[in-house]
Structure 1
Amino acid sequence: MGNREDLLAGAKRCLFEKGYGRTTARDIASAAGVSLAAIGYHFGSKEALLNAAMMEATRDWGEAVDSAILTDPDGTVTPEERFAVTWERVGETFVEFRGLWAAQFEAIAQIDRTPELKEALGGVQRMARLALSAMFQGVKEVPDTEDELLLGTFYQALLAGYAVQWLLDPAQAPSGRDFLRGLELAAGRVLGRPPVVV
């Protein structure tokens, strides 16, 4: 690896261990095994490096989720089973990526003071929503339509809430079956349909 790659790896490690706001340029340089000047040379600033590391770590999480998604070569998995199992597997990724989620929430709390990060995170919203819609349908991609975006937005809202609950207390975070039952209850009450008895 070169200095740039070492800096990204060091910044990701610092994000996971120290968070977004508490990571210093010296922390990153030390973790990367490079000089402080290398940060400015390759990224311009510590913030730009942390933002790049955050985006790369988010892509890493997406790849981890993709590899954990339920495959169904025989077409025997029901949509309900897929929904529940997908949430279970998403939750399993929180163990490895706990630091990323904590750093993301910390960074979002400061988003108005970090316009570069706001732009970067905002710029991937559409792609993230379409990816979530595809993930819960068990397909690689979905068409870029308003319905798929709305479905992805719904999943994104659930994902953010799930991450918060898991960070606060993994033992109290919902299971995949809890998500499914909650969806049944909400649909019954919002749409006036009696919930399925389980």
Structure 2
Amino acid sequence: MKLLYSPASPYARKVLVLAHETGQADAITVQGATPSPTAGAPDVTAHNPLGKVPALILDDGSCLYDSRVICEFLDARSKGPRLFPEGEARWDALVRQALADGLLDAALITRYERVLRPEGLRWDAWDAGQIGKIEAALDRIEAVVADMPVLDIGTVAIACALGYLDYRYPDLAWREGRPATAAWYAVFEGRPSMTATEPPKG
């Protein structure tokens, strides 16, 4: 299998963390891609018409996207640990994954607004609204973190989201006023799956 990815993508990191945790990292070859929100990316759109990463090319040439689909596919084929629980616990894990992905959606489009959009066209109220969503998601994580299991797709997604905030939004200081989340992440970010998938420095 081949994973089209960007080393800075938190969604691609989520896939790779799950692959490590389920013992499948060696079954995946990673290939850097050049997606852009403003221009076509032929190396990606040839496989994913949305032009987004991650995209997983299977042995038969078919392609899976987005990160939620890829993670569930890899989990279903895992012969070891499973990160998508069954029964009632499944819905809790999926909601936490959705919470983390929603946080990332807001963080990514805010970065595009701040970095790619010409300064004179930026909309301060829109930026503030997205940061408000990030803050609300962080507050919700703080409220539930004590009851989270050690490892499932929800915890992986949350950890990758927090890692992205450290990577792209250090000035947000998300740990302030959220001691439980800060303590939880200090432990989780030390997992081998997380250290093996850290985004590039700089």
Rg (Cα) greater in structure: 1
Q: Which has the higher strand share?
A: 2
Q: Which has the higher helix share?
A: 1
Asked if TM exceeds 0.5, the reply is no
Whose RCO is larger (CA < 8 A, sep 6+)? 2
